[in-house]
Structure 1
Amino acid sequence: MEGGQPSPQPAQVPSGAMVSSSVRAVIRLRRKFRILRKSRMRSTLPGESSLSLTPSPSRLLQRQISLDRTKLGSTPVSHLHHSSFEKPQYFTFEAPVESSFRRKKKRRRSRVVLYPESSRKYLPTEQKSKAKRCLLLLVAIVCFQILNAIENLDDNLQKYDLDGLEKVLQRGVFGQKAAMDSIMELLRDYLATHIHSQPLVISFNGPSGVGKSHVGRLLAKHFRSVMEGDFVLQYYVMHHCPDPQDGLACQEHLTNRITDMVTRAEVEEKIPVFILDEVEFMSPGLLDTLHSFLQPRQSNEFLNAIYVLISSIGGSEVTRFVLQNISSELSPQRRREELSQSVHTLLVGTHPLWEVAEVVPFVLLGKWDIMNCFLDEMVGEGFYPDQSHIESLAGQLSYYNTKAGEFAITGCKQVVAKVNLL
């Protein structure tokens, strides 16, 4: 100090101005930092040129800091915002830029939907298809139709009482169990319904005295009892057409009878039965007339009918087959099929009438069957059935002697005559 005067103090800068200038410096630094970070990110992308030609960001930052200091003058650096220089990692660009770039590549995870605690959670409701209901309805209708059809089949069979017919045949026919089973099977299948595509033709073939005509009489008696009206025709060729010269008249008579019966039966929804015995004595013209009714291409009333043809044609074939194959190792079913096939071939060669026929062969009767015929006839005539007497009567007949037993040559043909002599 000179002359006692105080030395001039330097002018103090207001604290508010210092703070505002420091804030502005920090803001400028942050802007520079953002610009440098963007340029750094662009340079790190693939395809860009190397960063070796550009100055380092740290050098640029130091240069900018030195410029700001010169502008601020004597403003100490300590008055600047302490947080801007406290953490130098904010001004290193390598790690943050690289991590931010990697974060952008990651996919954002979908946020989990949180439900409030007070709300109720429900599973998604399944929508029921209306097609299922239609399908169930269709199945129910089909099942109902099937049950109704089964009931109708039972009603038709009950109308003809085939169970009663089977019992009658089992009691009244001896030694022909396989033939009776075949007849009942054919009748059950045909009489189960009223609509058919062709008539049923059954041919009884075999030697004399084995029960063919007897079965025909039992069938006629049964169907007359179960069907109201005249829907059964028993036609004996030697009785209805004894003279071969009356061929045209016989054909016309048979045609009228068949036409009348099938017409009336169709009105009442019943199936007529035609039993024609002694077919082997029919003339060719009468066979042709009968054959015309067996064709499948006819009106509906002619298709719903049963024809039973009884003849001794093929009797010798049946006898030969039975005697030759009595000790065969074939099963009874197999032997019966072969016998039916051989007789059918013989019948077709005789006339085309038998092409559509179901052949039921009647085999030879054994001695035990002959004894049963005597017993049944004696009981029917009122005689006491003495076993010794029956054996004596059965021994008077002629038989084929084989290893399997004795078979009657004439069957039960002479039984009635023997009993009448008692």
Structure 2
Amino acid sequence: MERGRRAALGLALAALLAGPWPGARAVEPVTVGLALAGAAASALTGLVSYSRLYCYFAPCCLQGPGARRGAALEEDLDRKLFGQHLVKKVVIKAVAGFLNNPNPKKPLTLSLHGWTGTGKNLVSKIIAENVYEGGLNSKFVHQFVSTLHFPHLQNVTQYKDQLQSWIRGNVSACARSVFIFDEMDKMHAGLIDSIKPFLDYYEELDGVSYRKAIFIFLSNAGAEKITEVALDFWRRGKSREELGLRDLEASVSVSVFNNKNSGFWHSSLIDRNLIDYFVPFLPLEYKHVKMCIRVELESRGYMADEDIVDRVASEMTYFPKEERIYSDKGCKTVYTKLDFYYDL
């Protein structure tokens, strides 16, 4: 049924686009396209509105509520993310709640912290995919990597201007834009403060509202504090799942704020409480590494061979040296280690 409707709409648009359209050459192509789409929508009255019609054939900025996206987000996190009960709880509530709020007071800002391989990039990818079909490849999702996009200390002033212009331009085009900043622990101190006005509680700035945008920061900073708390729980015989956000969030934010090697060092984003959640990623245990291996095998089309799963997990290195509880690379090297066992 849905496929048939799309085919009908496609034929209608094709007919309209075939012309003739007197004077079309004198009009900007984008304007013509919008006019034709509007004409198609009128011709198909009762089937679909203009905005919905347009979104059948081109990527659209998210405008409606995200209830279904919240359910899909939860499902994706359950299937792909392991050992991170705090992350799942915070991300699902924060993102779904924000997308379903037609009039948020400020942009959603999430700061993800933890060791390499614990799932920070995976979670940002899953969020992007659940907001926009193209995920990280969507024109409404923008990713910055500190060492790639902001490498030189002497250019920080220039980077600040460029960053402000980039965010202003993209939010003007799509209020629900998503911005991801990776390697915040390698960003030059003070640079991220240039976007502080966009994260604050302003109705508008120069005619642009930033309240519906999403900002996600990824950082290894704070990982030591997270491990310290998690290890203390383990040594006291407490379950990993007993750890609550209250046990970690405040200490992580303080640790990051006072870390001179972090892009958040003495940042006004933290000082002014503009980051909604500091999301702690716990170090992964042996059992979690095995889960990652099984998922990777299945993604390659293999049945999970438990002998290989055990062998690959055992080859990973773990810390502390005596207890060997946590994987020091998380699941990051699982992919390459499996290449040794399969002729791919």
TM (norm. structure 1) is 0.57
1:178-227 per-position Cα deviation (integer Å, ceiling 9, x unaligned): 21111111112222222122221111111221111111122223322189
1:279 Cα offset (Å) = 1.0
1:258 aligns with 2:174: no
Match of 2:247 among 326, 329, 338: 338
d(CA) in 2 for partners of 1:403, 1:345 = 29
- The equivalent residue for 1:314 is 222
Structure number having the greater helix percentage: 1
d(CA) in 2 for partners of 1:383, 1:242 = 41
SS of alignment partner, residue 331 of structure 2: coil
d(CA) in 1 for partners of 2:93, 2:102 = 16
Q: What percent identity do the matched residue pairs reach?
A: 24
d(CA) in 2 for partners of 1:292, 1:259 = 11
- The equivalent residue for 1:293 is 198
SS of alignment partner, residue 284 of structure 1: coil
SS of alignment partner, residue 254 of structure 1: helix
User: Is the contact between residue 319 and residue 364 of structure 1 (CA under 8 Å) also seen in structure 2?
Assistant: yes
1:368-420 per-position Cα deviation (integer Å, ceiling 9, x unaligned): 11011112222223444211011011101112369998321221122122123
d(CA) in 2 for partners of 1:318, 1:334 = 11
User: Is the contact between residue 205 and residue 315 of structure 1 (CA under 8 Å) also seen in structure 2?
Assistant: yes
d(CA) in 2 for partners of 1:222, 1:197 = 22
User: Is the contact between residue 224 and residue 230 of structure 1 (CA under 8 Å) also seen in structure 2?
Assistant: no
The one-letter code sitting in structure 1 at the alignment partner of 2:294 is: L
Structure showing greater relative contact order (alpha-carbon pairs closer than 8 Å, 6 or more residues apart): 2
Provide closer, same or farther for how the CA distance between residues 216 and 380 of structure 1 changes in structure 2, counting only shifts above 3 A: same
1:223 aligns with 2:131: yes
SS of alignment partner, residue 377 of structure 1: helix
User: Is the contact between residue 283 and residue 326 of structure 2 (CA under 8 Å) also seen in structure 1?
Assistant: yes
1:373 aligns with 2:278: no
Listed as ranges, the gaps of 5+ residues in structure 2 are 1-63, 259-264
1:392 aligns with 2:311: yes
The one-letter code sitting in structure 1 at the alignment partner of 2:201 is: P
d(CA) in 2 for partners of 1:334, 1:369 = 17
- The equivalent residue for 1:175 is 83
Match of 1:247 among 139, 156, 171: 156
The one-letter code sitting in structure 1 at the alignment partner of 2:107 is: P
1:273 aligns with 2:174: no
1:44-59 alignment, distance < 5 Å: none
d(CA) in 1 for partners of 2:82, 2:168 = 35
1:302-347 per-position Cα deviation (integer Å, ceiling 9, x unaligned): 2221111110110111111111122447785564312112112223
User: Is the contact between residue 208 and residue 315 of structure 1 (CA under 8 Å) also seen in structure 2?
Assistant: no
Provide closer, same or farther for how the CA distance between residues 157 and 333 of structure 1 changes in structure 2, counting only shifts above 3 A: farther
User: Is the contact between residue 113 and residue 278 of structure 2 (CA under 8 Å) also seen in structure 1?
Assistant: yes
User: Is the contact between residue 86 and residue 279 of structure 2 (CA under 8 Å) also seen in structure 1?
Assistant: no
1:325 aligns with 2:325: no
Listed as ranges, the gaps of 5+ residues in structure 1 are 1-154
1:245 Cα offset (Å) = 3.3
1:352 aligns with 2:261: no
1:212-255 per-position Cα deviation (integer Å, ceiling 9, x unaligned): 11111222233221899732112222222233333233223322
SS of alignment partner, residue 303 of structure 1: coil
Provide closer, same or farther for how the CA distance between residues 401 and 249 of structure 1 changes in structure 2, counting only shifts above 3 A: closer
1:35-75 per-position Cα deviation (integer Å, ceiling 9, x unaligned): xxxxxxxxxxxxxxxxxxxxxxxxxxxxxxxxxxxxxxxxx
Provide closer, same or farther for how the CA distance between residues 194 and 229 of structure 1 changes in structure 2, counting only shifts above 3 A: farther
- The equivalent residue for 2:41 is none
1:9-88 alignment, distance < 5 Å: none
SS of alignment partner, residue 274 of structure 1: strand
User: Is the contact between residue 178 and residue 213 of structure 2 (CA under 8 Å) also seen in structure 1?
Assistant: yes
The one-letter code sitting in structure 2 at the alignment partner of 1:295 is: D
- The equivalent residue for 1:417 is 336
The one-letter code sitting in structure 2 at the alignment partner of 1:368 is: K
